[in-house]
Amino acid sequence: MDNIILSLIMTSQNRRMELIRYVESLNNQVNVNLKTLQLIFVDQGDNSFLLEKINKRIHVQYLTSEKLSLSKARNYALSFVKGKYVCFPDDDCWYEPDTLSKVLGILDAGSYQGVSGIGKDEHGILTSAFPKKRQEIISTSMCSAISYTMFFKFVSTLRFDENMGVGSPYNIGSGEESDYMLNLLKYENFKILYDPNIVVHHPTGIIYEKSFLLKKTYSYARGLGYLMQKHKMPLLYKSYQLFRPILGMIVNVLCMDWYKVRKSYYNFRGRIEGLFIKF
């Protein structure tokens, strides 16, 4: 059996077309030996069809589960990792043909134990405010890294904080991947490279009700607040993250954009609340 180099952890409930798109992009990776890849799939729905779609050279660990939070599902999968490196693709993301070869080229060179790239939507538009230049990631400048853009050397003892992430019982709807990366930086002395030449696609074209978006904003803001206090971020960094939504409220009141006023308010309120969450 070929040695497994990269383990890819994914979970899903019911996104058939998106999952097929992801698997096709994985099958089509160039300059990568598919026999060195392991897909660990935590199925929280009825997605066994993927076993027929994925290239037979790729090792598949197919797990079934009742509905779990994202962090719990990933922690379940981490026990089955066989690779030297690990990543956490979303069930609706997909790769460029050379995404994994670029990632493995950097990691195998040995100077960095982690790498993160950029996200682009189906139209090639950036999914966040990613920096233009290659740089090393530090605790106060994480370069908009998000789980589907992250690739790390595997640390068998590290797990996600199950209080955080989608499905959190405490409405801490984000920050689990940043927490994971910060733990690697702080406790494992990892060096992590941000490289904008590494591209992972993720859709942004879904239109949600404004009420849903406000709830999401609030939940994600609680995540940032909790992350800042958990990792004892510098006072200047915390102040900046609290000042931004206050400024947003002022500007949007002047513009009479009441939806954005509410969004800035939920950002501020959530971050304040998150700073005082204790477990």
- H-helix or E-strand spanning residue 52: helix 50-53
- Please determine, for residue 207, whether its predicted confidence score (pLDDT) is greater than 70: no
At which residue do the structure tokens 């009420």 appear? 211
**How far is it between the farthest Cα atoms of the chain?**
65
pLDDT value for 1: 47
* Residues 7/28, Cβ–Cβ less than 8 Å: no
Phi, psi of 40 (to 5 degrees): -100, 110
| Across 43-54, average pLDDT | 94
At residue 205, the pLDDT reads 64
Of these ranges, 66-70, 74-78, 139-143, the one predicted with the greatest mean pLDDT is: 74-78
247 pLDDT exceeds 60?
Answer: yes
Mean of all residue pLDDT scores within the chain: 95
Amino acid at 28: N
pLDDT confidence of 125, banded at 50, 70, 90? very high
How far apart are the C-alpha atoms of 40 and 276, rounded to whole Å? 35
Six token digits for residue 196: 């904008």
Q: Report how far apart, in Å, the C-alpha atoms of 126 and of each of 176, 185, 196 are.
A: 22, 26, 11
Nearest Cα neighbor of 126 from 199, 188, 66 is 199
Cα dist from 192 to 33, 166, 174, 178, 230, whole Å = 24, 25, 21, 12, 21
What are 142-152's pLDDT values in tens digits? 999 999 999 99
SS (H, E, C) 166-231: CCCCCCCCCCHHHHHHHHHHHHCCCCEEEEEEEEEECCCCCCCCHHHHHHHHHHHHHHHHHHHHHC
pLDDT tens for each residue of 252-276: 999 999 999 999 999 999 999 999 9
Between 204 and 80, where is the model more confident? 80
Entry pTM? 0.93
